[in-house]
């Protein structure tokens, strides 16, 4: 039963029950996203594990599937804190308040942007051989990951996708921390999370099967889905 937490955040359950695996989580997410079914919707998976979940969402919504290649800009001395993000096309978003708060100067930011963009380029060179990037302008874009703990990776994705001017930006996750989900609502039009447990120490413990997804696994999903009739 749906439990609306705010006008933007919809939590389906506060259960601690694990999912069998990412495929089951994606199938269940798709059922909760049927109001987005249609040609206007694009599903983006966050590599690596999020792409498995996203594939099932895309199948359930009969929507195109792509990945989001963004990287957070890390705060000095605190790599878990995102103070901005860099996108696949090189566009940079910085949170001015956070940048000032952590004392990140221009030289530091320049080095961090260069480092993170190099990571994106490496992955883009591999993934874009099998899946060209989809234009997100004026689309309903659903960002999917296998779970949200700190939210930094998803935040970076939201920052970057927003610059492409989608019609709507939606986050969809099987498991998440309620505090983090509320924070992510600041950058999204809607957030849907299937289960918010009483305590989230790590995403993996809420899956019976949480094996690592390889780069080849992601490539296989993109290639296979791209051949869908």
**Residue 53 half-sphere exposure toward CB, CA atoms < 13 A:** 33
Q: Domain check: are 143 and 213 in the same one?
A: yes
Final residue belonging to a domain, choices 94, 111, 127: 127
pLDDT score for 130: 92
Angle at 180 between CA 217 and CA 177, to 5 degrees: 70
With 0-12 / 13-18 / 19 or more C-beta atoms within 10 angstroms meaning exposed / middle / buried, residue 212 is exposed
Q: Please tell me the predicted confidence (pLDDT) of residue 2.
A: 41
The pTM (predicted TM-score) of the whole model is 0.90
Domains in the chain, number = 2
Residue 92, domain extent: 71-127
Task: Tell whether the model's pLDDT for residue 4 goes beyond 90.
Answer: no
Same domain, 192 and 144: yes
CA atoms within 13 A on the CB side of 40: 12
Q: Give 54-104 pLDDT, tens digit per residue.
A: 999 999 999 999 999 999 999 999 988 889 999 998 989 999 999 999 999
Question: 225 phi and psi, to 5 degrees?
Answer: -70, -35
* Res. 214: pLDDT tops 60: yes
pLDDT band at residue 6 under the 50/70/90 scheme: low
**Pair (106, 7) in one structural domain:** no
**Domain end among 84, 106, 127:** 127
pLDDT score, position 41: 97
Give the whole-angstrom CA distance, residue 160 versus residue 170.
Answer: 13
Average pLDDT over residues 160-180: 95
CATH number reported for the structural domain that contains residue 30 in this entry? 3.40.50.2020
Q: What is the CATH number of the domain that holds 83?
A: 3.30.1310.20
Of the chain, the percentage scoring pLDDT greater than 90 comes to 83
> How confident is the model at residue 5, as a pLDDT?
46
Q: Do 152 and 166 belong together in one domain?
A: yes
* Gyration radius of the chain over CA positions: 17
Question: pLDDT averaged over the chain?
Answer: 92
Q: What is the pLDDT of residues 139-160, one digit of tens each?
A: 999 999 999 988 888 999 999 9
Low-confidence winner among 33-37, 77-81, 171-175 (lowest mean pLDDT): 77-81
């Amino acid at each position: 039963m749906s439990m609306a937490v705010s006008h933007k955040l919809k939590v389906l359950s506060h259960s601690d029950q694990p999912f069998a695996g990412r495929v089951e989580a994606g199938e269940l997410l798709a059922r909760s996203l049927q109001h987005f079914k249609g040609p206007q919707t694009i599903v983006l998976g966050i590599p690596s594990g999020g792409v498995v979940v996203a594939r099932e969402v895309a199948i359930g919504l009969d929507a195109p599937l792509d990945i989001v290649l963004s990287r957070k800009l890390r705060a000095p001395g605190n790599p878990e804190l995102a103070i901005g993000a860099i996108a696949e096309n090189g566009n940079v978003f910085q949170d001015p308040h956070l940048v000032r708060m952590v004392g990140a100067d221009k030289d530091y930011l320049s080095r961090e942007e260069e480092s993170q963009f190099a990571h994106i380029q490496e992955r883009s060179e591999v993934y874009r051989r099998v899946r060209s990037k989809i234009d997100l302008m004026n689309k309903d874009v659903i960002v999917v990951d296998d779970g949200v703990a700190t939210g930094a990776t998803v935040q970076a994705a939201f920052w970057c996708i927003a610059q492409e001017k989608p019609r709507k930006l939606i986050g969809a996750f099987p498991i998440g921390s309620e505090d983090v989900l509320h924070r992510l609502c600041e950058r999204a039009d809607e957030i849907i999370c299937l289960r918010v447990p009483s305590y989230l120490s790590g995403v993996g413990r809420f899956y019976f099967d949480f094996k690592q997804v390889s780069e080849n696994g992601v490539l296989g999903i993109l290639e296979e889905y791209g051949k869908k009739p």
